[in-house]
Amino acid sequence: MLGRVVVLFGVVAMLITSSIAWAQEPSVVVPGARIRIAELNSGVRRAGTVVAAGRDTIVLRPDQGEAVPIATSRITQLDVSQGRHGHALKGVAFGGLAGLGIGAVYGYTTASRTGSEDDDLESIANSLAWAGIGAGIGMLVGGVIGGSHKTEQWNVVPSSRWALTAGGGRSGFVLALSRSLGPQTR
């Protein structure tokens, strides 16, 4: 009975803390935020930094070029950057698998062949040893390569969740485009 109460209490505590953490997610696209915008009748997405956000215009400084005003009525998709992240874990996994396979094949082909009955056991042992060595080297190399390859993570902000908010800022009155909770990661 006591075990069920502890488990129930743990589940309730996890649900409460996860909803509190979800509610604390930053929700405003403000000057300085990195966003990606797709415009109406344009197959191109522009990524850049928000310079200003008004009631009907967002001023975006693209990665290359000068700041451009974009009418909010022309925006068909808005994504918010969550930063650049490496892929070390994927690199370790792929490198380890590749190294394992290459090492096993190398170990099997380099095993000595004397014609005795112990040749099969020796070939298997040699394959396993080289598979382990190859997996270790592959994991190391894959982790370094995957960690150095960084991609940007984006959260899609559905248009039904766009809203304009106003407030005071350091330089006076500020308008910002915001979103409600529950982004979809892309």
Mean model confidence pLDDT for the chain: 76
Residues 141 and 93 both lie in one domain: yes
Q: Are residues 57 and 136 in the same domain?
A: no
Q: Report the candidate in 28, 33, 30, 34 with the shortest Cα–Cα distance to residue 47.
A: 34
Structural domain harbouring 134: 88-148
Q: Is residue 12 part of a domain?
A: no
In a domain, 112, yes or no: yes
pTM of the model: 0.52
Asked whether residue 78 is domain-assigned, the answer is yes
Residue 27's pLDDT band (cuts 50, 70, 90): very low
d(CA 50, CA 36): 10
Does residue 151 carry a pLDDT above 60? yes
The count of residues in the chain is: 186
CB-count exposure of residue 79 (10 Å: 0-12, 13-18, 19+): buried
Residues 127 and 35 in one domain: no
CATH number of the structural domain spanning residue 161:
2.30.30
Question: Is the same domain home to 140 and 49?
Answer: no
> What integer pLDDT is reported at residue 140 of this predicted model?
95
Q: How many distinct structural domains can be found in the chain?
A: 2
Residue 104 CB burial class (10 angstroms; 0-12, 13-18, ≥19): buried
Assigned domain for 128 exists: yes
Separation between Cα atoms, residue 50 and residue 174, nearest integer Å? 13
H or E element, residue 162: none
Q: What is the DSSP string of 118-148?
A: THHHHHHHHHHHHHHHHHHHHHHHHHHHHHH
Same-domain check for residues 110 and 136 = yes
Together in a domain, 36 and 76: yes
For residues 159 and 77, the model is more confident at 77
Q: What is the pLDDT of residues 79-125, one digit of tens each?
A: 888 888 999 999 999 999 999 999 999 998 888 766 666 777 888 88
